Every structure is written in structure tokens, then in C-alpha cells.
């Protein structure tokens, strides 16, 4: 199901988004509501945040949950499921609602977001110079896609075994798939 969009200015978007009960992506004047995730989606996001927190414990990195908006450019703003910044976080606003310099972003797909996460959002993340990697996790099965920035676009590696280790080089850390999926009961 494709969410309906609504046209508005950036200023109208900020006001609307601040008052909204749900997150809203904003792409070139169009509002794209992002309904809340299922229990499985939220458990996978939480498990990933915990695993990232443990992996980054000794590093100067911040892990942000899905309420952190990311600025793509002056006409595009999105909400990744997780954003990670290594170094000093920079924000567009004093309220620290809009992040300017994520190092890695994470998306957890659902049947309704799968195509958008792999096309539109991946393309948008490629436009942000600070983003060196994008991790896309499948909530239906043990399956992770790790996209890293390369001169000719994104370089993709896929992982599907609980024993697999994702080398998060931009973060200087490794992430074991079992750390994520083992906590949510997906063992297939």
C-alpha cells in the first residue's frame, strides 16, 4: 500500500511534522507519512540499537533511534530507523531534531517499505556525503544487506547466516547477525 502524499513548503512540513503523532518524510514538497512499525519491526530496531551500542562502546559514536530526522538537502528530509554518527553530531536546528552528518543509517524493511527502502531511500542516502554505509535488515527473515559507498555508487554485501559478521568499517566495528536476529527470535 502506497501512502498518500500531501504537498507543502519546508516550513509547513516542519510545523506539521512537529505536531504529528507519526514520522513524515518530506521529498521535494511532498509529505510521505511513515506509519509506526509492527512489534517485529520495533524489536528488530531495538535489538540493532543494543548491538550497535555494545559494538561502539569504546568509540566516539552516537546511535540515534527513528525519531531523528536526517537532512538530505534543503528539500528532502527522511527518518531512518537508526542513524549513527562517529565524531561530533551536527544538527540543522537548536532543538537537535534534524541531523546533518550521519555516518551510517539503518533501515528495517517491511513488506510495505521494502521497495522504497531499496530504491528511493537508498538513492537519497547516496546524496549525503557523510553517509558511508547503509544497513538494510529484513524483518521477515535473517537477511542483511550492507551497502558501502564506492566511487561508482554503492557496493553491496549480503548476510544470511546467524554466524555472519558484518564489517562496519565506517564505524570501526563488527556486528554479528546473531546479536540482532537472535534477540528477536528469527532463526531462519
Q: Encode pLDDT of 168-178 as tens digits.
A: 999 999 999 99
- Give pLDDT, residue 1: 39
Give mean pLDDT, residues 10-23.
91
The mean pLDDT value for 79-95 works out to 95
Kindly state the helix (H) or strand (E) to which residue 114 belongs, with its residue range: helix 114-118
Confidence of residue 183 (pLDDT cuts 50, 70, 90): confident
Q: What is the CATH architecture of 38-181?
A: Alpha-Beta Complex (3.90)
Most confident of 92-96, 113-117, 163-167: 163-167
Q: What is the pLDDT of residue 4?
A: 53
Looking at residue 98, the DSSP 8-state letter turns out to be E
Residues 155-177 have a mean pLDDT of: 96
Give the global pTM. 0.92
pLDDT of the residue at 41: 85
**Residue 110 confidence (pLDDT) above 90:** no
Burial class, 98, CB count within 10 angstroms (exposed 0-12 / middle 13-18 / buried 19+) = middle
pLDDT at 2: 45
10 Å CB burial of residue 151 (0-12, 13-18, 19+) is exposed
Per DSSP, the three-state class of 48 is helix
- Return the closest-CA partner of residue 93 out of 68, 117, 64: 68
Domain boundaries, the chain: 38-181
Task: Tell me what pLDDT residue 187 has.
Answer: 54
Read off the pLDDT of each residue in 37-43 and give the average, rounded to a whole number: 83
Amino acid at each position: 500500500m502506497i501512502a498518500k502524499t500531501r504537498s507543502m513548503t519546508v516550513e509547513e512540513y516542519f510545523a506539521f511534522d512537529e505536531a504529528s503523532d507519526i514520522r513524515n518524510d518530506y521529498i521535494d514538497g511532498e509529505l510521505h507519512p511513515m506509519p509506526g512499525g509492527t512489534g517485529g519491526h520495533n524489536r528488530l530496531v531495538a535489538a540493532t540499537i543494543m548491538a550497535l551500542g555494545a559494538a561502539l562502546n569504546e568509540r566516539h559514536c552516537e546511535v540515534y533511534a527513528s525519531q531523528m530526522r536526517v537532512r538530505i538537502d534543503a528539500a528532502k528530509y527522511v527518518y531512518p530507523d537508526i542513524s549513527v554518527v562517529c565524531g561530533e553530531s551536527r544538527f540543522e536546528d537548536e532543538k537537535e531534531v534534524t541531523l546533518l552528518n550521519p555516518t551510517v543509517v539503518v533501515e528495517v524493511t517491511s513488506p510495505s517499505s521494502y521497495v522504497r527502502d531499496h530504491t528511493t531511500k537508498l538513492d537519497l542516502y547516496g546524496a549525503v556525503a557523510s553517509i558511508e554505509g547503509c544497513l538494510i535488515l529484513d524483518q521477515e527473515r535473517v537477511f542483511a544487506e550492507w551497502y558501502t559507498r564506492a566511487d561508482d555508487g554503492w557496493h553491496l554485501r549480503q548476510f544470511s547466516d546467524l554466524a555472519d559478521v558484518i564489517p562496519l568499517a565506517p564505524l570501526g566495528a563488527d556486528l554479528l547477525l546473531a546479536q540482532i536476529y537472535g534477540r528477536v527470535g528469527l532463526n531462519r
